[in-house]
């Protein structure tokens, strides 16, 4: 059974917080949270996040799609598209 | 400037020494010529290191944002084109090949150095003479020696350089006879501009430059073949343990029997680490040699692992045993 978007968002928040250099509480993360500006996630940390997301959700995210992802909401949408 | 809430007397002392020095140097620079200010970069690096060592990681990050970056000395330190390049990240990521050219001297950095202000040029010279950056030159030289040794050990070996940058270590192969060159030198980097420079600067080598991201390499999407020698200069300095472990497994799978993988990682005692983080916004993942070795623990049988250190750099060499 496919997980609901909110469940996916919660899992993504957990992954993003784990790898973000800038510490944030889970409640501070929203769809609009900017991965670079708000969480200081650089390209190596994005690799960590993508690998973890791929393992957790059993999806493969495209390189170009990942490069174009700037917010938590866009990452959620990308994962949902790949799972569809 | 308001003192941050720092837990220890050691942090308070280190902070006081740092800002006393920075205030005096900034004052001299404001009122006189740069020559009157004396040495700046090296003492700043030393005092920043003392302050960093007295703080937790979160406190250090907060101190950088709240009190170090806003200090007037930063504008002067950023007249150094090397520090400024690190801070600005014109390629969009840390530690690009141009930044390393500043350390090595020449190459793509020349135009910036030639156009620096007198203060910027003096700071640049002072900065790159620092032992931390001499260590990066020593790493390039060591990789060059190993690259040449691989070419001498096998006839026309197949070699892979991962996150190759401008491949400056390969300069040791320039002018060699064709039988002392690799049969194939595959150079991977995510940055097309970097690859174009590498191709132009090593036109005499059998270079096969490919724009491949670390992610693509980790997924094994690419059919690159197998290699006698695979090496990485600085990539592990940016990768988490999990990702570095995955990459180690992936790369060892790409070794021919008897082939070897050479990896490097900066050691935690790098004296300029605090300067790099605070002034250049250049953050590495430092590992002790023991921590670095653990990245290859899950390789299983069939590999021989050896490690050693150079100045502020750890090296792990993994050899794939030949079938008996």
B3: pLDDT strictly greater than 60:
no
Query: In a mutagenesis test of the A interface, which of B64, B188, B243, B282 is the best target, namely the one with the most A β-carbons within 10 Å?
Result: B243
Chosen from B61, B162, B215, B280 to mutate, greatest number of chain A CBs within 10 A: B215
The tally of domains found in chain B comes to 2
Are B105 and B141 in a shared domain? no
Average pLDDT on B61-90 reads 96
Domain segments of chain A: what residues? 5-83
CA B299 to CA B289: how far, in whole Å?
17
Q: Hey, which CATH number is domain A5-83, 1.10.1200.10, 3.40.50.620, 1.20.1600.10, 3.30.70.270?
A: 1.10.1200.10
For chain B positions 174-193, those within 8 Å of chain A (CB to CB) are 190
ipTM field: 0.80
Same-domain check for residues B222 and B311: yes
CA pair distance B108, B96, nearest whole angstrom: 11
Q: Which of B106, B130, B154 is the last residue of a domain?
A: B130
Q: Of B61, B216, B238, which is closest to A44 when you measure between CB atoms? A: B238
| pLDDT for B240 beyond 80 | yes
* Predicted TM-score of the model (pTM): 0.91
Is B2 a member of any domain? no
Are B212 and B130 within 8 A, CB to CB? no
Across B206-216, b (16+ Cβ under 10 Å) vs e yields bbbbbebbbbe
B4 within some domain = no
- Closest CA relative to residue A61, chosen from A73, A71, A72, A76: A76
In a domain, B119, yes or no: yes
Q: How many CB pairs under 8 A join A and B?
A: 36
**Is B138 found in the same domain as B124?**
no
Residue where a domain stops, chosen among B64, B97, B130: B130
Task: Please indicate, yes or no, if residue B169 is contained in any of the structural domains.
Answer: yes
What pLDDT, in 10s, does the model give residues B204-231? Answer: 999 999 999 999 999 887 889 999 999 9
Average pLDDT estimate for B97-120: 94
Q: What is the mean pLDDT of residues B52-67?
A: 95
CA distance B137 to chain A (A): 23
- Is A51–B246 a contact, with Cβ atoms under 8 angstroms apart? yes
Q: List the strands of the sheet with B313-320, edge to edge.
A: B207-211, B184-189, B158-162, B227-232, B255-266, B313-320, B303-310
> Are B83 and B207 within one domain?
no
Is the per-residue pLDDT at B2 higher than 50? no
* Residue given tokens 């500006």 in the structure block: A37
Interface of B with A in 34-73 (CB under 8 A): 58, 61
Residues B295-305, mean pLDDT to the nearest whole number: 92
Q: Are residues B19 and B92 in the same domain?
A: yes
SS (H, E, C) chain B: CCCCCCCCHHHHHHHHHHHHHHHHHHHHHHHCCHHHHCCCHHHHHHHHHHHHHCCCHHHHHHHHHHHHCCCCHHHHHCCCHHHHHHHHCCCCCCCCHHHHHHHHCCHHHHHHHHCCCHHHHHHHHHHHCCHHHHHHHHHHHHHHHHHHHHHHHCCCCEEEEECCCCCHHHHHHCCCCHHHCCCEEEEEECCHHHHHHHHHHCCCCCEEEEECCHHHHHHCCCCCCCEEEEEECCHHHCCCHHHHHHHHHHHHHCEEEEEEEEEEEECCCCCCHHHHHHCCCCCCCCCCHHHHHHHHHHHCCCEEEEEEEECCEEEEEEEECCCC
- The pLDDT, as a whole number, for residue B249 is 95
Same domain, B106 and B173: no
Picking from A72, A23, A25, the residue whose alpha carbon sits closest to that of residue A46 is A72
Mean per-residue pLDDT for B33-56?
A: 89
Residue of chain A whose alpha carbon sits nearest to that of B236: A44
pLDDT of residue B4: 53
What Rg do the C-alpha atoms of chain B give, in angstroms? 21
Residue B46, token pair as written in the block: 């030393």
Residues B58 and B199 in one domain: no
**B61 vs A contacts (CB less than 8 Å):** 21-22
Confidence grade of residue A6 (pLDDT, cut at 50, 70, 90): low
**Confidence band for B1, pLDDT divided at 50, 70 and 90:** very low
Work out the pLDDT band at A1, boundaries 50, 70, 90. Answer: very low
CA distances from B188 to B1, B163, B165, B258 (A): 47, 5, 8, 22
- Domain interval for residue B167: 133-320
Regarding whether B302 and B203 lie in a shared domain, the answer is yes
Tell me which residue of B225, B163, B166, B230 sits closest to B193, measured CA to CA.
B166
Region B137-144: mean pLDDT is 98
Please tell me whether residues B309 and B181 are part of one structural domain.
Answer: yes
pLDDT above 60 for B308: yes
In this structure, are B34 and B142 located in the same domain?
Answer: no
Q: What are B165-219's pLDDT values in tens digits?
A: 999 999 999 999 998 999 999 999 999 999 999 999 999 999 999 999 999 999 8
Residue B103 CA: distances (Å) to CA of A67, B271, B320: 29, 15, 33
CA distance, residue B271 to nearest chain A CA (Å) = 22
Minimal C-alpha gap between A49 and chain B (Å): 10
Which residues on neighbouring strands pair with residue B209, listed in sequence order? B187
| Residues B242, B45 contacting (CB under 8 angstroms) | no
Provide, as residue numbers in chain B, all residues whose Cβ is less than 8 Å from the Cβ of A21. 61, 283
Mean pLDDT of B76-101: 95
Q: Looking at the structure, tell me whether residues B66 and B209 fall in a common domain.
A: no
B48 plus B193 within the same structural domain: no
Give the model's pLDDT for residue B126: 94
Could you read off the pLDDT of A9-55 as tens digits, one per residue? Answer: 888 989 999 998 877 777 778 889 999 988 889 889 999 999 999 99
């Amino acid at each position: 059974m496919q997980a609901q978007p909110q469940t996916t968002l919660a899992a993504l928040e957990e992954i993003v917080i784990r790898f973000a250099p800038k510490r944030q509480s889970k409640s501070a993360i929203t769809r609009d949270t900017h991965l670079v500006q708000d969480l200081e996630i650089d390209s190596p940390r994005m690799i960590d996040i993508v690998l973890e997301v791929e393992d957790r959700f059993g999806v493969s995210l495209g390189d170009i799609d990942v490069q174009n992802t700037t917010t938590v909401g866009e990452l959620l949408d990308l994962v949902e598209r790949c799972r569809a | 400037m308001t003192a941050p809430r720092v837990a220890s007397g050691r942090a308070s002392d280190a902070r006081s020494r740092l800002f006393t020095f920075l205030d005096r140097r900034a004052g001299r620079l404001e009122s006189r010529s740069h020559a009157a200010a004396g040495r700046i970069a090296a003492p700043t690096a030393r005092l920043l290191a003392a302050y960093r060592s007295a703080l937790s990681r979160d406190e250090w990050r907060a101190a950088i944002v709240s009190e170090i970056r806003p200090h007037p000395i930063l504008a002067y330190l950023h007249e150094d084109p090397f520090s400024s390049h690190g801070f600005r990240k014109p390629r969009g990521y840390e530690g690009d090949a141009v930044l390393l050219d500043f350390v090595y001297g020449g190459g793509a950095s020349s135009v910036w150095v030639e156009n620096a202000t007198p203060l910027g040029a003096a700071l640049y010279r002072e900065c790159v003479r620092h032992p931390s950056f001499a260590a990066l030159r020593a790493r390039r030289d060591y990789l060059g020696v190993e690259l040449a040794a691989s070419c001498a050990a096998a006839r026309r070996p197949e070699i892979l350089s991962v996150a190759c940058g401008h491949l400056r270590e390969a300069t040791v192969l320039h002018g060699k006879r064709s039988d002392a060159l690799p049969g194939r030198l595959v150079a991977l980097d995510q940055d097309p501009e970097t690859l174009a420079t590498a191709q132009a600067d090593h036109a005499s080598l059998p270079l096969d430059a490919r724009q491949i991201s670390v992610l693509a390499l980790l997924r094994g999407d690419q059919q690159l073949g197998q290699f006698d020698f695979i090496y990485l200069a600085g990539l592990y300095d940016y990768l988490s343990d999990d990702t570095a472990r995955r990459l180690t497994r992936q790369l060892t799978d790409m070794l021919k029997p008897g082939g070897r993988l050479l990896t490097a990682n900066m050691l935690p005692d790098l004296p300029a680490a605090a300067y790099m983080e605070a002034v250049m916004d250049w953050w590495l993942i430092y590992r002790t040699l023991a921590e670095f070795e653990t990245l290859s623990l899950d390789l299983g049988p069939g590999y021989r692992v050896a490690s050693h250190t150079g100045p502020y750099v750890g090296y792990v060499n993994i050899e794939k045993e030949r079938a008996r």
